Structure 1
Amino acid sequence: MRDLVRHLTDPGTFTPLTVAPRTQPADGPIGWPGYDATRARAAQRTGEDESVLVGTAELGGVPVVLISFVFGYLGGSLGERTGDRLETAYRTALERRVPLVSLIATGGSRMQEGMRALTQLQRVARHSAALRDAGLPQLAVLCDPTTGGGWAVLGGAADVVIALPGAQVGFAGSRVRPPDADPAAYTAESQLATGQIDAIVPPERLRTTLTGYVTALTRPHPGAPPPPAPLTDTPLPQTGWAAVQAARDPRRPRADAYLGAYFEPGPGPLPLSGDRAGGQDPGLRCGIGLRAGRGIVYVAQRGTATTPAGFRTASRVIRLAGRLGLPVLTLIDTPGAANDARAERAGAGPAIAETFTTVATAPVPITSLLIGEGGSGGAMALAAAGNTWATPDSYCSVIAPELAAAILKLPPEQVPQLSDTLRLRPQDLAALGVATVVSAPPERRTPDTE
C-alpha cells in the first residue's frame, strides 16, 4: 500500500505518525497458539509491523491525515495495535482540523485476538463520531477486498465513499457468506447500484478525483451560490400552456448541461450518490463541485418523477453540506414525486417530508433554480424559501394541468385553458412571490427577453 500512498499524495509529503508501542502478552491477549510467529512472518513478508500505516500528507496542497491498510499483513485485519494506530490518526485529524482519508483493504477483525479485536470497532466508531461532530470530512477508498468491520465502521461511515472497479465490498467476506449467496451482490458495482457508495473510480483517475473531493469539501463557497444563468434565450411564455410545452420540450437544457456550465472543469462535478439504505434514483444527480475555486454541493433533478430513494439521497446530501458548512444549489426539474405502488411501499410520504424538513432547517444557504417542470410537492421539496429562481422555459404548479383537469372532470381540450388559470408561468411565480425570474446573459439576450 505504500506504492498507493506515494501515487495519491503530493511528492514527499507523507510523514508517518508516531504511535506508542503496545506491550502484549505472549501470543496476544487471548494466547492464540503461534500468533507471535504468524505476526513475525507477516512483517517479514510485507516489510510492515502492523496492518495499517497512518500518517500526515497533502493532496493537491490540502493537508490530510491518511490511513492505509496493508492487506498482506494478516488480511488487513483489525487488532489492538491496529486500533492504537487508527485512534492516533483520528485524534490527529481532529487536533489539526483536517480531512481523514482511509485507503481500506481488510478482511475484518482479527480472530487471533478474540473479542478484544472486535471492541476496536467501538473505538473507531467513537472517534469517527467526534470528527463528524467537529464538521471534518471523512473519505474512504475501498480497495480489494473491503469486508467485515472495516467496511462497516471505516468505509460505510465515511462522508464520501469511492471504490476501485471490481473490488469485493461487503460486510460478509467470501468464506463466511451463505452458500447460496450471489457473489455479484458483494462487489463495488453492486454497492453503487444500491446506493451504498458514491462512485467507482479507476486507479488512473484516483489521485485527481480524491484531490478534487478534498479540495471542494474544505474550501466552501462564501454565502449563497449565485443562480445559474439560463442556457437558452427562450422568451417568457405568453400563455400557461406555452410554459408547459417549453418546459417539456426534449431539446431544452437539462441538469447535466447546467452543472457542466456552472462548475469548473478538471475533475468536474463529483458525485455524492445513493441514500445509504439500498436505494438510488437515476433521475437525481447529487454531488459537489468547484466554482471560483470554492466548493458548492448540488442536488439536481433530471426531469423524471423523483423516487423515495431520490428524496432520501437529497436529504442525506444536504445534511452533509450543513455539517461541513458548504452551501447548496438545487436544480428543480420533475413532473412530480413518483406516486406508483412501488413508491408508496418505499415510503414516499416520509421521504418527501424528510426533504422538506432538511431544506427548511439547513444551517447553510441554499439557492434553488427551476429549470424545467416543477410538479407539485415533488418540486417544492427542493425549493429554498426566499431564494428560488426560475428560467424562462420553466413552470411550477400545485398540480400538473392534466391532473387538475382529471380532478375537476374536465375534458382534455380544456387543459390549455386550465394552465392559464393555474398561473404557473415563470412571471406568474414572480408575481405570486414564489420565485424570481433569472435572466439570460447579456450576450445571449434578444429584444424578446429584455
Structure 2
Amino acid sequence: MTERLTAREILALLADDATFTELPHPTGACGPDGPLAWHGYDASRARAAERTGERESVVVGTASVTGTRAVLIAFEFGFLGGSLGERTGDRLTAAHEYARDHRLPVVPLVATGGSRMQEGMVALTQLQRVARQSVLTREAGLPQIAVLRDPTTGGGWATLGAGSDVILALPGAQVGFAGSRVRPADADPAAYTAEAQVACGAADAVVPVTELRQVLGRWLRLLTGGADLAASPRPAPVPFALGAQDLPGSGWEAVRRARSPQRPRARAYLDAYFGHRVAISGDRCGGADPDGMLCGFGEHQGRTVAYAAQTGTATRPSGYRTAARLIRLADRLGIPVLTLVDTPGAANDADAERQGAGAAIAELFGAVAGARTPVTTLVIGEGGSGGALALAAPGGTWATPDAYFSVIAPESAAAILKRPDDQVEATADQLRVRPQDLVELGVIRGIVGPEGDFSPVARKRHRGNHDSTGHRP
C-alpha cells in the first residue's frame, strides 16, 4: 500500500512554490444532519473538520506544476473517507467551470471511498453532475489528467478517475470500483491495485511519488501544446529514414528487407524524432498491447506531436483501440498525429477474434478518417494488409526504402491462388509492393531519405481526400 498523503500534502508536493490559490467555496443551505436528516451526521462532519482542518472532502484551487497552470482537485481521505456529497459536488462543479472560463487543464488527485451514505441518493447523483462537468470540459478542448491515490474506489474512480484523458497512479494504490468492504470474500486483492489497472488497460502508468511532479508537469506541457483546430494545425513533419537508402530491385527483396531483424524499428524512430515523450497505455476496455502498439505524446521541434507506432508484431485488438483513443484525444486537443506502420498484419488467433479484432480495426479506420487534426504516416517496415492500412493516413502516407505495403503477404496470396511455394517470390513482384511501386500507383506520397529528401510523388493517380500538405480540404 502506498503512503497516504493528505490533500494539502499532495498539493504541496505538486505545486510550484507559492503558486497554489484555493478557489472560493460555493455556499448552499443544508438542513440539520443533511438531506436525509441522518442522525449524527453533523457531528461526524464536525469531527472530520477538526481532525483534518478541512470543511469538505475536496480542496480545489489553481497552481502551476513545473510551469504549467492547472486546476487541481485534491481529495482529503481523512474527511469521511474522501466521500462525495452534495457540497463536494458543488466544489467539483465550480472547479470545472473555472477551468473552462480560464482555459486551464483539470487534474483530479483522487483518494475516495465513493459516495457518502449519510446523504443517500442525493450523494450518488453527484456522479451525474461530475460526469456532465467532465463532458463539458472535454468538449471545450481541455485535457483532464487524473492521479490515483490510495484508495480510489466507487463513483470517484468511475467518474473523475476513469473518465480522465490520461490516468496516472501511485504505486500500490488500491484502485477499483468495488471497495475493500464490499468485494466478494474470495476476491483476489491484487486485482484491485494500480498495477493491475495498468496491466488491463484501465490506467496509463504507475508513477513513484518522488517522480510525480515532473511526470505530471511534462504531461501538462504536452497536452496543452495543441492548436485551435479552426487555425488548421500544421501536419507533423515526416521522419527521416534510418535504415537502407537504396531501393529494392524486386518485390521479394522489398519483403525480405522489411522483415530483416537489423532494420530500425519504431522505438529507434521515436527516439530520433522526439526530444522527450510520454506514453499512454491501454484501450480502457480491459486490454493493452504494450509490445505491439506504442502510443503517446512527444515534443518535436518545439511543439507537441501525438504518435501511434506499430513495432513489427501482429497488432492485437487492444492495440488498435489504444491507437484510436490516442487519435481521438489528439484531435480534440488540436495536436497533429504521427503514425508509424510496421506489422505483418492484425493478430488472427482465436483470442483476437473473441476480443473483437474486426470492430477494433474498424474503430481505428474511423478515427483516422474522422480526424480534423492532420495525420502523417510513415511506413517503416512491413505493411501487412488492412491491419497496417488502418493506421495509415489517406493522402498523408510516406514510406522508407526498406518498407513494403501489400494487400496481403505474398505467401498468403500464393496460398489463396493455389500456387506452389516456388511461386511466392514471383507473386511478390506481381503484387507491386516496393516503395517505388507504391509511389507510381499513388498509394503513398513519396519515399523518404536520410536527411529529409523525398522522391517525386505520382499525384495524378492519387485518390485521397487530403491536399498536398496533408491537411483536409
Q: Same fold (TM over 0.5)?
A: yes
Q: For structure 1, which runs of at least 5 residues remain unmatched after alignment?
A: 444-450
- For residues 339-371 of structure 1, the C-alpha deviation after alignment (integer angstroms, 9 at most, x for no partner) is 122222222212211211211111110000101
- Provide the aligned length of Structure 1 versus Structure 2: 440
Q: State the distance in 1 between where 2:111 and 2:129 align.
A: 19
Cross-structure match for 2:462: none
Q: State the distance in 2 between where 1:23 and 1:399 align.
A: 67
Q: How far off its partner does 1:442 sit?
A: 7.7
Answer yes or no: is the 8 Å Cα contact 2:244–2:402 preserved in 1.
Answer: no
Cross-structure match for 1:61: 67
Matches within 5 A, 1:70-81: 70-81=76-87
Cross-structure match for 1:137: 143
Equivalent AA in structure 1 for residue 377 of structure 2: S
The alignment's C-alpha RMSD in Å is 1.4
Equivalent AA in structure 1 for residue 407 of structure 2: V
Q: How far off its partner does 1:255 sit?
A: 0.8
SS at match of 1:316: helix
Q: How far off its partner does 1:261 sit?
A: 1.2
Cross-structure match for 2:377: 368
SS at match of 1:269: strand
- Pick aligned residue for 1:241 from 240, 252, 270: 252
Q: For structure 2, which runs of at least 5 residues remain unmatched after alignment?
A: 1-6, 228-232, 454-473
- For residues 305-341 of structure 1, the C-alpha deviation after alignment (integer angstroms, 9 at most, x for no partner) is 1122111111111111111111110000000011122
Q: State the distance in 2 between where 1:296 and 1:59 align.
A: 21
Distance 1:211 1:233, change over 3 A: same
Q: State the distance in 1 between where 2:333 and 2:282 align.
A: 19
- Pick aligned residue for 1:300 from 296, 302, 309: 309
Q: State the distance in 2 between where 1:20 and 1:209 align.
A: 31
Q: Are residue 225 (structure 1) and residue 243 (structure 2) matched?
A: no
**Which moves more between the two structures, 320-329 or 25-34?**
25-34
Cross-structure match for 1:332: 341
Equivalent AA in structure 1 for residue 339 of structure 2: T
Matches within 5 A, 1:283-294: 283-294=292-303
Cross-structure match for 2:269: 258
Answer yes or no: is the 8 Å Cα contact 2:240–2:452 preserved in 1.
Answer: no
Q: How far off its partner does 1:245 sit?
A: 1.1
Cross-structure match for 1:96: 102
Q: How far off its partner does 1:213 sit?
A: 0.9
Q: Are residue 163 (structure 1) and residue 174 (structure 2) matched?
A: no
Cross-structure match for 1:448: none
- For residues 194-217 of structure 1, the C-alpha deviation after alignment (integer angstroms, 9 at most, x for no partner) is 111111111111111111111111
Q: State the distance in 2 between where 1:205 and 1:417 align.
A: 55
Q: State the distance in 2 between where 1:434 and 1:335 align.
A: 18
Q: Are residue 204 (structure 1) and residue 210 (structure 2) matched?
A: yes
Q: How far off its partner does 1:233 sit?
A: 4.2
Cross-structure match for 2:114: 108
Among the aligned pairs, what percent are the same residue? 62
SS at match of 1:252: coil
Q: Are residue 434 (structure 1) and residue 443 (structure 2) matched?
A: yes
Q: State the distance in 1 between where 2:337 and 2:308 align.
A: 8
Q: How far off its partner does 1:377 sit?
A: 0.3
SS at match of 2:148: strand
Q: Are residue 52 (structure 1) and residue 58 (structure 2) matched?
A: yes
Cross-structure match for 1:379: 388
- For residues 216-242 of structure 1, the C-alpha deviation after alignment (integer angstroms, 9 at most, x for no partner) is 111127410001111234421111111
Answer yes or no: is the 8 Å Cα contact 2:103–2:142 preserved in 1.
Answer: yes
Cross-structure match for 1:447: none
- Pick aligned residue for 1:424 from 427, 433, 437: 433
**Structure-2-length-normalised TM-score:** 0.91
Q: State the distance in 1 between where 2:452 and 2:32 align.
A: 77
SS at match of 2:81: helix
Cross-structure match for 2:467: none
Q: State the distance in 2 between where 1:205 and 1:234 align.
A: 41
**Structure-1-length-normalised TM-score:** 0.95
Equivalent AA in structure 2 for residue 73 of structure 1: F
- Pick aligned residue for 2:31 from 25, 29, 34: 25
Equivalent AA in structure 2 for residue 275 of structure 1: D
Equivalent AA in structure 2 for residue 393 of structure 1: D
- For residues 97-133 of structure 1, the C-alpha deviation after alignment (integer angstroms, 9 at most, x for no partner) is 1100110000000111111111111111111111111
Equivalent AA in structure 2 for residue 199 of structure 1: A
SS at match of 1:145: strand
Distance 1:442 1:332, change over 3 A: closer
Q: How far off its partner does 1:23 sit?
A: 2.8
- For residues 62-83 of structure 1, the C-alpha deviation after alignment (integer angstroms, 9 at most, x for no partner) is 2211100011111111111111
Equivalent AA in structure 1 for residue 257 of structure 2: A
- For residues 223-268 of structure 1, the C-alpha deviation after alignment (integer angstroms, 9 at most, x for no partner) is 100011112344211111111111111121111111111111xxx3
